[in-house]
Structure 1
Amino acid sequence: MFTTKKHRAWGATALSVTGILLITGCSSGSVSGGEAFSPCIVSDAAGFDDHSFNESALRGITAAADELGVEFSQVESGSENDFQPNVDAQVAEGCDVIVTVGFLLSDVTNAAAAANPDVQFAIVDDALDADGDGAPDVDNGKPILFDTAQAAFLAGYAAAAYSKTGVVGTFGGAQIPPVTLFMDGFVDGVAYYNEANDADVKAVGWNKESQTGVFTGGFEAGIEAKTAAQSLLDQDADVLLPVGGPIYQSAAEAIRDKGGDTALIGVDADVYETDPSVADLLLTSVVKGVDASVNDVIVAASAGEFSNEPYVGTLENDGVGIAPFHDFADRVPADLQQQLDDITAKIIAGEIEVTSQSTPG
């Protein structure tokens, strides 16, 4: 739910290629004044060309390696069966720090960290807290987390402000916390728009209260994702938020097939910049700073400053946010950006509390 300063709660209406595909050295050299430092990264099954968070993580380690003047190793997973052999291969490669990308690598990362205490690990989108005590299970494992509900709240508000049909929708890949976190924030942002503007925009595809909704069962673009998008379009939705890497590409196909003014919202990266093929459809994107956080973890580890303290990106620390409206700037209400700036300030100040059962930290 979200809570205003009046403490009013609102309910909302509601990855194959095989094995090690690529190990690439980028840059050369060693950390100044010390032994060679080797950072490494393993993707989830969406791969590094997902125009989303895997690609963002790769940008982060690339920038860190360039800054440090070292080589790094990247391994791409084609399915969940690749996760363990790929992580094991990076350990055997002699990596000093290994970044794994995605919640689905949680068990593999935790086990590898426990078995290799001299190797440092970081994981995007998981707390490494299988025992549920609120702290990482291993001293050499760092969670990189993002409170995307906060940013998705803004996107939900923007979607409702743009909608001409009075219906907006969201659907996900796998029903896992990093996905439903977006969806919770989105539908609450729609509900807040209704309260603030005496409106009645409906959010379809996800019911926050019951935690039920539309999912494709994975993170691949394809018929499942297109069918999910079409099911929401058939309910008159004219804004879609697909949460799960490349599934947005299938949503874009469904939107183009339908025609009209239906808009798309990207996730993880500013998809307008990462995938120009859908730029004309993008109202905005819910962005999380995966690249910057991965960069920071690598640089800190190279300096002997690795910590397993979780990083949580929020609106306050610029770890999450929404992208510009780009081509839609003249198609949204003239004062919408100012409204979103005001809402952002209230979320940071605690006047609006955006909550989800998947909120990290």
Structure 2
Amino acid sequence: MNKSKNLLAFGVVAALGFAACGSDDEPADEPAETEDEAPAEEAPAEEEAMEEEPSEEVASGDFGVGLTYDIGGRGDQSFNDSAAEGIERAAAEIGITASELVPNADGSDRPELLQLQADSNDLVIGVGFLFADDTVAAAADNPDVNFAVIDDAMLDFDNGGVPRCDNCAGLTFAEEQGSFLVGAAAALKSESGNIGFIGGVAGFGLIEKFEAGFEAGAKAVNPDIVIQSQYITEAPDFDGFFAPDRAKEIALSFYDGGADIIYHAAGGSGAGLFEAAKEASEASGSKVWGIGVDSDQYNTVDAAVQEYVLTSMIKRVDTAVFEIVNTQAKGEFAAGNVVYDLSLDGVGYSTTGGFIDDIVDQLEDFKAQIVAGDIVVPTTPEA
């Protein structure tokens, strides 16, 4: 089957390389993302369902891929933009034709967008776990089309972790592992022994993985470190991923409370963190930092705040998108879930700016211990 025509007639976003307006990480990895029926923390069951590692062999072929973003689309400097990088790479290296769509502000048109993509493409990708339930329905209605969802395992854990549908795959990440490394970086670089975490939305299990890893990494370096933590909203209110003013307010309160480094896992809200770091640094004369998420945010933030981005936790949504397209091109699509962890370079940290060059050896040692299984990173924060 070759459904390669674009959806340009629908006037949303199509054919690679054109930027649309958006929000901001995140989602990163967002939001990222239906009710999280397939919690990513169930990694062992997920890996059993789909054990293939990403292939280095790049297939080729002309077929259609429909990429449907999380709310806000391109321009979020993180989760959606990372997905866009993956589809652009697929277009360049594999020769696919891509259609890009963006949900409305409340996401209520996700089912319609998935069907539009299925009408014209061989593979449909939903960027974010909030697509999961609608994807199951669309997959049943379009058995000749394959589907994939970022940040949902697409497994039925009530029935032993079997795939929720025969033509849908889940692409999830070990966010806790990457967050462990930036938590260790924060503790190694902190001069005050006081750091912070800002989560976009609590209560659905995903962002808690970021917090848990960050906390564990920091305490592996300094068991007595103080960690201030706050979420912007609680599910089902996902506005916390699109509230930079609120993130800035929280960050300023953390800096006032003694924090000198703050990590955010808050999507588009993260822009407010870096503004706060600049403001607090200039007001006090003592430099404070922010840590980005999903993408290398040193390369995506405004130039005026670049110098305050200590590092970023990289979540390789681009890799996941490219690999599922490559798998489709090779005729090897399989239902189930792939977990992108440190061993697959699915998560990691950035060194752009050179601010953590002096501690890279220590971070790489922690990474090796995690990959070897000597350190098992928790997926839920300490009570």
Structure 1 length-normalised TM: 0.82
Matched residue SS, 2:251: helix
Report the alpha carbon displacement of residue 342 of structure 1 after superposing the two structures with TM: 1.1
Matched residue SS, 2:153: coil
Report the alpha carbon displacement of residue 21 of structure 1 after superposing the two structures with TM: 6.0
Matched residue SS, 2:336: coil
**Deviation per residue, 1:185-213 (Å, 9 max, x gap):** 00111111114xxxx211110xxxxxxx4
Matched residue SS, 1:328: coil
Measure the CA separation in 2 of the matches of 1:329 and 1:355.
24
**Deviation per residue, 1:312-361 (Å, 9 max, x gap):** 1111121111111524147xxx3x21111111111111111112149xxx
The amino acid that maps onto 1:186 is F
Report the alpha carbon displacement of residue 283 of structure 1 after superposing the two structures with TM: 0.8
Instruction: Give yes or no for the alignment of 1:225 onto 2:247.
Output: yes
Instruction: Indicate the residue corresponding to 1:346 in structure 2.
Output: 369
Contact between 2:154 and 2:337, CA under 8 Å: does it hold in 1? no
Instruction: Give yes or no for the alignment of 1:157 onto 2:184.
Output: yes
Contact between 1:46 and 1:245, CA under 8 Å: does it hold in 2? no
Change (3 A) 1:225 1:110: farther
Q: Which runs of 5+ in 1 are unaligned?
A: 1-19, 206-212
The amino acid that maps onto 1:177 is G
Report the alpha carbon displacement of residue 177 of structure 1 after superposing the two structures with TM: 2.7
Measure the CA separation in 2 of the matches of 1:305 and 1:296.
11
Measure the CA separation in 2 of the matches of 1:232 and 1:21.
43
Instruction: Give yes or no for the alignment of 1:37 onto 2:63.
Output: yes
Instruction: Indicate the residue corresponding to 1:15 in structure 2.
Output: none
Measure the CA separation in 2 of the matches of 1:244 and 1:110.
27
Measure the CA separation in 1 of the matches of 2:211 and 2:307.
23
Instruction: Give yes or no for the alignment of 1:77 onto 2:99.
Output: no
Instruction: Give yes or no for the alignment of 1:215 onto 2:228.
Output: no
Measure the CA separation in 2 of the matches of 1:178 and 1:139.
25
Pairs within 5 Å for 1:1-361:
22-26=12-16, 36-79=62-105, 80-92=107-119, 94-129=120-155, 131-132=157-158, 133-175=160-202, 176-195=204-223, 200-205=224-229, 213-216=230-233, 217-259=239-281, 260-277=286-303, 278-324=305-351, 326-329=353-356, 334=358, 336-357=359-380
Structure 2 length-normalised TM: 0.77
Paired residues in the alignment total: 318
Change (3 A) 1:324 1:131: same
Instruction: Indicate the residue corresponding to 2:34 in structure 1.
Output: none
**Deviation per residue, 1:281-326 (Å, 9 max, x gap):** 1111111221122111112112211112311111112111111152
Matched residue SS, 1:56: helix
% identical equivalent positions: 35
Matched residue SS, 1:185: helix
The amino acid that maps onto 1:273 is N
Report the alpha carbon displacement of residue 89 of structure 1 after superposing the two structures with TM: 2.0
Contact between 1:300 and 1:306, CA under 8 Å: does it hold in 2? yes
Contact between 1:47 and 1:78, CA under 8 Å: does it hold in 2? no
Query: RMSD across aligned C-alpha pairs, in angstroms?
Result: 2.2
Instruction: Indicate the residue corresponding to 2:43 in structure 1.
Output: none
Measure the CA separation in 2 of the matches of 1:194 and 1:226.
26
Q: Which runs of 5+ in 2 are unaligned?
A: 1-9, 18-58, 234-238
Measure the CA separation in 2 of the matches of 1:354 and 1:95.
38
**Deviation per residue, 1:163-202 (Å, 9 max, x gap):** 122111111112233321111100111111114xxxx211
Report the alpha carbon displacement of residue 137 of structure 1 after superposing the two structures with TM: 0.6
The amino acid that maps onto 1:151 is G
The amino acid that maps onto 2:363 is L
Change (3 A) 1:164 1:26: closer
Measure the CA separation in 1 of the matches of 2:94 and 2:184.
41
**Deviation per residue, 1:250-272 (Å, 9 max, x gap):** 11122222223111111111111
